[in-house]
Amino acid sequence: MRPEKLVLKTLRNAHAPLTAEEITGSIEAEGGAGLAVDRVGSVLGQLERSGSVAALGNGRYVALRERGLVTGRLSMNRRGFGFVSSPLGDIYIGKRDTAGAMHGDTVAVRVEQRKTHLGRAGEVVQVVERAVTEVVGRFERHGKLGIVVPTDARIRGDLFVDLAGASAAAKPGDVVVAHITRYADRRDAMQGVITEVLGPEGAPGVDVEIVIREHGLATEFPPEVTTAAESLGQDIDGELERGRRDVRDLYTFTIDPADARDFDDAISIVREGKGFRLWVHIADVSHYVPWDSPVDVEARHRATSVYLVDRVLPMLPEHLSNVICSLNPGEDRLTFTVEMLLDKTGLVERYECYPSVMKSDRRCNYDEVQEWLDAGVGFPDDTIRQALLDFRTIADAVHERRVARGGLDFDTVEARVTLDERGEPTGVTLRSRTEATNMIEEAMILANEVVARHMTSATAPMIYRIHEDPDADALAQVGVVLKEFGYPIQELHGAGPRTFQKIVAFAHGRPEERLINSLLLRALERARYVDYLGKHFGLASEAYTHFTSPIRRYPDLIVHRLLKAQLARTLDKPPTATMVPELEWLAEHCSVMEREAESAEDESQKVKLVALMAHHAGEVFDGIVTGVMGFGLFVQLENTAEGLVHVETMADDYYRLDAERFMLIGENRGVTYRLGQPVRVRVLDASVAERRLDFELE
- Whether the full predicted model's pTM is greater than 0.85, yes or no, is yes
Task: Kindly tell me the sign of the dihedral angle through the C-alpha atoms of 538, 542, 548, 550.
Answer: positive
CATH 3.40.920.10 fits 3-63, yes or no: no
Task: Kindly tell me the sign of the dihedral angle through the C-alpha atoms of 339, 343, 348, 349.
Answer: negative
- Buried b or exposed e, range 612-638, using 16+ CB within 10 angstroms: bbeeeeeeebebbbbebeeebbbbbbe
Rounded to an integer, the average pLDDT of 308-322 is 96
In which residue ranges of the chain is CATH 2.40.50.140 found? 70-129, 616-697
3.20.20.70, 3.30.499.10, 3.30.70.2190, 2.40.50.140: CATH of 616-697: 2.40.50.140
- What CA–CA distance (Å, rounded) separates 300 from 586? 8
Q: How confident is the model at residue 210 (pLDDT cuts 50, 70, 90)?
A: very high
What class has domain 70-129? mainly beta
pLDDT at 57: 73
Q: Do 666 and 679 contact (CB within 8 A), yes or no?
A: no
Q: E-assigned strands of 162-286?
A: 174-182, 190-200, 245-246, 253-256, 265-272, 275-283
Is 400 strand, coil or helix? helix
Could you give the percent of the chain with pLDDT greater than 90?
A: 62
Q: Which of 387, 276, 403 is nearest to 340 (CA)?
A: 276
In which residue ranges of the chain is CATH 1.10.10.10 found? 3-63
- What CA–CA distance (Å, rounded) separates 398 from 395? 5
In which residue ranges of the chain is CATH 2.40.50.640 found? 134-201
pLDDT of residue 348 exceeding 80: yes
- Buried b or exposed e, range 389-421, using 16+ CB within 10 angstroms: eebbbbbebbbebbeeebbbbbeeeebbbebee
pLDDT at 377: 94
Q: Do 207 and 608 contact (CB within 8 A), yes or no?
A: yes
pLDDT in tens, 581-615: 999 999 999 999 999 999 999 999 999 999 999 99
Q: How confident is the model at residue 166 (pLDDT cuts 50, 70, 90)?
A: low
Q: How confident is the model at residue 118 (pLDDT cuts 50, 70, 90)?
A: low
Q: State the amino acid at position 281 in one-letter form.
A: H
pLDDT top residue among 115 and 555: 555
Contacts of 615 (CB under 8 A, 6+ apart): none
pLDDT of residue 11 exceeding 80: yes
CATH 2.40.50.640 fits 134-201, yes or no: yes
pLDDT at 661: 82
pLDDT at 684: 96
- What CA–CA distance (Å, rounded) separates 456 from 419? 46
pLDDT at 676: 86
Q: Do 160 and 189 contact (CB within 8 A), yes or no?
A: yes
pLDDT in tens, 126-139: 888 888 899 999 99
pLDDT at 521: 85
pLDDT top residue among 472 and 554: 554
pLDDT, mean over the chain: 91
